[in-house]
Amino acid sequence: MTGDCQVRFCERLGVKFPLPTRLATLKFTMINKIKYDNNLWFQHKGCEGKHYLIGNPHTHIGRMWAWCPKEERTFFVSKADMGEMSEQARYWVEGYLNGNQPDPPVNKDGDVDFESQEYRIWTNAVELFHETGYWTDEERKCEKCGSALLQSEPTEICRNCLSKN
C-alpha cells in the first residue's frame, strides 16, 4: 500500500517552500510526488503521529529521508530520533545502516588490520552506529572526562559519563 501527496520542496534541504512563487519555479524542482509506503511508519521524537521513511538523502552517513504528514514536508532523520516503529521500518532501518556503515580503517599498505587497536575501536563505533545512526569524522573528546568519543556517539559526552548522570 502506498500513500502519496504532492508537495514542492527543495531537493537539497528537504524543506517545503510556500508556493507558487517565481523563485521556486526557477530554482527548485517543481511538483514532486512523494511516494511512501504506509508500512514504513515511525514516531519522530519532537513531533506527533506517524512519519514515513522514504529513502536516502545522501547527506551524512546514517541519515535517512522521511516524510512528515503533519508539516507536509520531507526531513532528515537519524535512528536516535526515532521512537516506536513498525516491524517493517525496523528491518528497513537495520538494512539501511548496514549498507551505510563507514569503511574500516586500513594500515599503510591499504589493508584492514583485524588485530589493530584502530580496528577494535571501529568495531565498537559501528556497533553503536546501529543504535544511534550517527557518524562523524571529527575527532572529539568527552566534555566531562576527556576520553575519546566514538565516531557514532551523538552527544559531546561519553556513554560512561552519561550513564553516571
Site residues for Zn ion per CB under 5 A = 47, 68, 70, 142, 144-145, 158, 161
Q: Residue 20, preceding bond cis, omega within 30 degrees?
A: yes
117: which residues sit within 8 A by CB, 6+ positions away? none
Residue 119 · residue 105 · CB < 8 Å: yes
Judged by CB, which is closer to Zn ion: 7, or 161?
Answer: 161
Judged by CB, which is closer to Zn ion: 48, or 131?
Answer: 48
CB of 79 to Zn ion, least distance (A): 16
Residue 12 · residue 56 · CB < 8 Å: no
Q: Residue 118 corresponds to which cell in the numbers above? A: 584502530
Judged by CB, which is closer to Zn ion: 27, or 141?
Answer: 141
* 3 state SS of 28: coil
CB of 83 to Zn ion, least distance (A): 12
Judged by CB, which is closer to Zn ion: 55, or 95?
Answer: 55
CB of 98 to Zn ion, least distance (A): 26
CB of 69 to Zn ion, least distance (A): 7
Residue 37 · residue 51 · CB < 8 Å: no
